[in-house]
């Protein structure tokens, strides 16, 4: 994973902006990595750039995705995007390697999407939106879409594993039975905590699938202080947490493959968000953390979506 991340963050990729020579170089690296992992990737051309797709065939599918593009350059500065989103691409390839070595019980599409960053975000030229409009298999045969974004960093600088090893999983409440499956998978080195998808606006490639009522799970650590800055470089990543995330995700994909077809549902679950906050903040002695903990406990009795979103935003800012 380290070698791939460093290559994607190199001068040759120059920030991986879609439709640039650096973006083309990055895409070639992803193609080579998936091929070396034992799959047969191909490119899906989009209005600017191309998605990289590798398919393990089956009747029903789980789609695992991470965007590989970033912001490119500004003058002499390169926005290298280690956490956003080279780390997730490296995890994607590790999951692909495991699945290629021992095939799961259903089909899997490994998707490295292009053109996720502005100005393409939520437009028709966004790689995931283009795929949703031009899918390689019918969307109703994709039972679960898993999206990764900002998954490479340790959360906060507390040194407390209950915080630093946290990875949030948004959207489990939007499909029947998925929350229990997420909770059942434990992997040393990462703590996957559920939160409602509506605590933030749709901020990554899962939006195209949510819009079409397809079950999804969004894995993220939230925005660090290096988000969208030239300081988002490989030395700041938590490699052990990334390796644990890859192991957890491969297990989740295999579990999802063993399930019958998954039903989408439009349902909020603010209690799971607050339970995750309470579990994460309880070990912290910092007065601000304890104040947030007290607010979370009050809200749990009478969840208010706006107040929950405000609390999450404050916690994200404090841990950035």
Label residues 170-207 b or e (16+ Cβ within 10 Å = b): bbbbbbeebbebbeeeebeebbbbbbbbbbbebbbbbb
Architecture of the structural domain at 2-267: 3-Layer(aba) Sandwich (3.40)
Question: Could you read off the pLDDT of 72-102 as tens digits, one per residue?
Answer: 999 999 999 999 999 999 999 999 999 999 9
Question: Could you read off the pLDDT of 212-253 as tens digits, one per residue?
Answer: 999 999 999 999 999 999 999 999 999 999 999 999 999 999
For the segment 156-170, the average pLDDT, to the nearest whole number, is: 94
The mean pLDDT of the chain is 96
Percentage, residues of the chain above pLDDT 70: 100
Residues 278-284: contacts with CB under 8 Å, at least 24 apart: 279/162, 279/193, 280/162, 280/163, 280/166, 280/193, 281/163, 281/315, 282/162, 283/160, 283/162, 283/163, 284/158, 284/160, 284/163
pLDDT at position 261 is: 87
Q: Is the pLDDT of residue 161 over 90?
A: yes
Q: Where are the domains of the chain?
A: 2-267, 269-320
At 320, the pLDDT band (50, 70, 90 cuts) reads confident
pLDDT at position 121 is: 87
Whole-model pTM: value is: 0.97
pLDDT at position 59 is: 96
Question: Could you read off the pLDDT of 283-300 as tens digits, one per residue?
Answer: 999 899 999 999 999 999
pLDDT at position 34 is: 98
At 174, the pLDDT band (50, 70, 90 cuts) reads very high
CB 196, CB 273: distance < 8 Å: yes
**What count of Cα atoms within 13 Å lies in the side-chain half-sphere of residue 282?**
9
Q: Is the pLDDT of residue 319 over 90?
A: no
For the segment 55-77, the average pLDDT, to the nearest whole number, is: 97
Percentage, residues of the chain above pLDDT 90: 94
């Amino acid at each position: 994973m380290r070698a791939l991340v460093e290559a994607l963050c190199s001068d040759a990729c120059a920030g991986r902006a879609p439709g640039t020579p650096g973006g083309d170089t990055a895409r070639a690296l992803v193609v080579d990595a998936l091929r070396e992992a034992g799959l047969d990737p191909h490119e899906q051309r989009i209005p600017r750039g191309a998605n990289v797709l590798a398919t393990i065939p089956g009747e029903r599918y789980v789609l695992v995705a991470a965007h590989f593009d970033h912001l490119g350059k500004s003058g002499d500065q390169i926005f290298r995007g280690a956490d956003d989103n080279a780390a997730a691409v490296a995890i994607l390839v590790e999951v692909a390697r495991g699945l290629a070595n021992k095939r799961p019980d259903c089909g899997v599409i490994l998707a490295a999407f292009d053109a996720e960053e502005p100005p393409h975000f939520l437009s028709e030229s966004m790689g995931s939106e283009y795929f949703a409009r031009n899918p390689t298999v019918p969307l109703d045969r994709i039972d679960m879409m898993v999206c990764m974004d900002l998954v490479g960093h340790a959360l906060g600088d507390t040194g407390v594993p209950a915080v630093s090893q946290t990875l949030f999983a948004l959207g489990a409440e939007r499909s029947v039975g998925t929350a229990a499956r997420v909770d059942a998978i434990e992997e040393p080195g990462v703590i996957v905590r559920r939160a409602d998808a509506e605590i933030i606006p749709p901020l990554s490639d899962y939006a195209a699938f949510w819009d079409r009522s397809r079950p999804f799970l969004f894995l993220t650590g939230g925005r660090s202080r290096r988000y969208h800055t030239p300081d988002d470089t490989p030395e700041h990543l938590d490699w052990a947490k990334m390796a644990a995330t890859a192991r957890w995700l491969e297990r989740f994909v295999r579990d999802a493959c063993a399930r019958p077809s998954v039903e989408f549902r439009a349902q909020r679950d603010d209690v799971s968000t607050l339970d995750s906050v309470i579990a994460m903040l309880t070990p912290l002695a910092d007065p601000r953390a304890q104040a947030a903990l007290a607010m979370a406990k009050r809200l749990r009795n009478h969840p208010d979506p706006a107040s929950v979103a405000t609390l999450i935003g404050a916690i994200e800012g404090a841990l950035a």
